[in-house]
Structure 1
Amino acid sequence: MSGSPSASPSASQRPSASQTSTHSSSAVDIAAMLGVTIGEKLCELALTHRSFAYENGGIAHNERLEFLGDSILGQAVTVMLFTENPTLEEGELAKRRAALVSTTALAEIARRIGLGQFIRLGNGEVLTGGRDKDSILADTMEALIGATYVSNGADAATELVLRLVRPLLADAHRFGAAMDPKTSLQERVAKLGPDAPTYAVVADGPDHARVFTATVTVGTLVSAEGVGTSKKHAEMAAALTAWTMLDNA
């Protein structure tokens, strides 16, 4: 949720003139890469992670836009799958939707367009590899979808979502795994040896905004993390990451 500063940021907290210029350029670059028009300030807001906001005097960050973008993403993908797959049952449609709106899928889209370099992160997140964290990349993609809606309306936001997710559908091999990543990982591991995947999940945050982080380990073969708004989604994200690592090995 966006917050108002309790006090004006000090000179040391405020972004420098050069930082402001860089952020403005980033906003313009990202909007152009997405093929949409987003106001500079709104685009900067969409790129602002809460860690950056905290370190700069409590300025507004992108979580409200992320909330909006998440809803638009889900609706656009649901309507697309329903319309284009008239013979699929509800269960299969649900699996495909879950794959396309997952943290892992959104992070893959973000990496494809090089989004990480443009995200406004606090120093702590930068030092711990925040620019390549699935959760941060996915959240920022949702915020940009939300910003597109605010700037251009529902049709433009829906068109953006479909442009972003269709390339995932084209990769049938990976998309098949993404529809049921835990089973896909189990099947892949069974071909490699006797070790079975084991999952450990921790939760963080208040009850109304719980974030789950799952770690899946397969003996000495692979270990991977996934983040989600439920234990199930976090485990699915972790499994898909592990499956991808084994598939690329």
Structure 2
Amino acid sequence: MSWKIMLNIDSIETTLGYQFKNQSLLDQALTTKAYSNEHECRNQSEFQTIGDAVLKLVLTEKMMLNGNSTRGAITIQRSEAEKKEGLALVAKKLGITHHIKLGKGQLIQNHVESDHLLAETMEAIAGAIYLDGGFDNTKNQIAMWFDE
């Protein structure tokens, strides 16, 4: 990993409030498929699914702890929190947009402002934290993201 990339990773770790044991997981979580197609590297796709599952679990628990006891109420509130706009807002609040590795076309079309891309990146980051530090660390991070 180059010095420039390490600075970027250290910076986002500070932003996220989580120090990765394996920084390559974070680097991969920040790498879009378009970028990886151009640079032959791994991308965030494989982390998005596990990140989505962990997000659902943590947000469901959070809703229950906040007094929501019916499946309908929990589902509605969780859906609001985890939909693209909600995750994109978290990404913007954390200031991760300038850390995401975009392909040339994505840069030209300013995809870094896309709620879809930002939500997928937040899912991938949640997945990377889970793989790096386990469920409790991921739960703490997600709670911080949605409490701020």
TM-score interval, normalised by the smaller of the two chains: over 0.9
SS at match of 1:61: coil
Instruction: Tell me the equivalent position of 1:158.
Output: 139
Q: How many Å separate the matches in 2 of 1:66 and 1:22?
A: 25
SS at match of 1:153: helix
Instruction: Tell me the equivalent position of 1:47.
Output: 30
Return the index of the structure with the highest Cα Rg: 1
The one-character-per-residue Cα deviations of 1:39-93 (angstroms, maximum 9, x if unpaired) are 2211111100000000113x2101111111111000000011112215x432222
Q: Does structure 2 retain, via aligned residues, the 8 Å contact 1:37–1:151?
A: no
Q: Answer 1 or 2: higher relative contact order, Cα 8 Å, separation at least 6.
A: 2
Instruction: Tell me the equivalent position of 1:21.
Output: 3
Q: How many Å separate the matches in 2 of 1:155 and 1:107?
A: 23
- Deviating above 2 A after TM superposition, structure 1's stretches of 4 or more consecutive aligned residues are 20-24
SS at match of 2:102: coil
Aligned mate of 1:99, from 52, 59, 80: 80
Give the alignment's TM-score, normalised by structure 1.
Answer: 0.56
Q: How many residues are paired up? A: 147
Q: How many Å separate the matches in 1 of 2:6 and 2:70?
A: 46
Q: How many Å separate the matches in 2 of 1:68 and 1:137?
A: 16
Query: By percentage of residues, which structure has more helix?
Result: 2
Coordinate RMSD, CA, aligned: 1.5
Consecutive unaligned residues of structure 1, counting only runs of 5 or more, are: 1-16, 168-249
Q: Does 2:138 match 1:146? A: no
Q: How many Å separate the matches in 1 of 2:57 and 2:44?
A: 20
Give the alignment's TM-score, normalised by structure 2.
Answer: 0.93
Counterpart amino acid of 2:132? S
Q: Does 2:90 match 1:114? A: no
Q: Does structure 1 retain, via aligned residues, the 8 Å contact 2:15–2:95?
A: no
- The structural deviation recorded for 1:110 is 0.4
Q: How many Å separate the matches in 2 of 1:133 and 1:159?
A: 26
